[in-house]
Structure 1
């Protein structure tokens, strides 16, 4: 009676592990680029939402509200009469145009200056998204550099 051998031999196992390692080595850089793109996309989308929040607070409180990026370009704050309503620190590897601001007036919540733009970028500048606010406070997102699905080019 002949007994059958079960399992894999050592050379077969090593060959399979080499194939898996080669596939993973090719896939890891694309995952890193995807995570960078998602960080920039998430930060800029949150900023666009916060622009709308700042405008709605100007209407609700009948006070001027401003949204200012910090000098380092790694965060921003929404303030009313010098008091912070919200302070945001951007994720690592994401920056925004430094020392830029937009303010909404108390009467009509119009943006000053009109058509202000904020650029969100990855630290290696592989992805850049621009968030702009028109005079009515409407936020628009567009792609300056890189490829971001779902957004048009500026």
Structure 2
């Protein structure tokens, strides 16, 4: 009675490893783009929520509210009442961002390419002028957050914007 050997041969194992390497080589860049896109979406959603907060704060406290930005690789935004703040400093000699603040450390793979500051007036929460913020996560990944003249913040992604 002949017993057939159990297990894998070295050739079979090498073939399996080669197939796995090819699959991983195709999947890793896709997964990396997915992570960047998700971070970019989270940054946009966070900004939209903070813009809504700024609008509500202006009406609640009866004082104009400002959203200030610093664009670039090490970007930030800050919300303050009464006058604009410098979001680059958590606390500074000038006006600090006394309502909210966020920066690129929370979203390390995302870049803020352009940002227009916005002021919400205190009676109806309208924006004094429309504004937009552009985020990017790479050459093909773009996201735009807009505030219209009524003070409504919205977000759109990709080439459809």
TM-score by length of 1: 0.85
What secondary structure sits across from 1:23 in the alignment?
helix
Structure 2 CA distance for aligned equivalents of residues 97 and 13 of structure 1 = 48
Deviation beyond 3 Å, 4+ runs, structure 1: none
User: Partner of 2:133 in structure 1?
Assistant: 118
Tell me if the contact between 2:66 and 2:117 (Cα under 8 Å) persists in the aligned partners: yes
Provide the aligned C-alpha RMSD in A: 1.7
Aligned residue pair count: 145
Asked whether 1:137 is paired with 2:151, we answer: yes
Tell me if the contact between 1:121 and 1:129 (Cα under 8 Å) persists in the aligned partners: yes
Tell me if the contact between 2:115 and 2:132 (Cα under 8 Å) persists in the aligned partners: no
Structure 1: gaps (5+ residues): 146-152
> Which stretch shows the higher mean deviation, 94-103 or 5-14?
94-103
Structure 2: gaps (5+ residues): 83-94
**Change in CA separation of 1:31 and 1:67 when aligned onto 2, cut-off 3 Å:** same
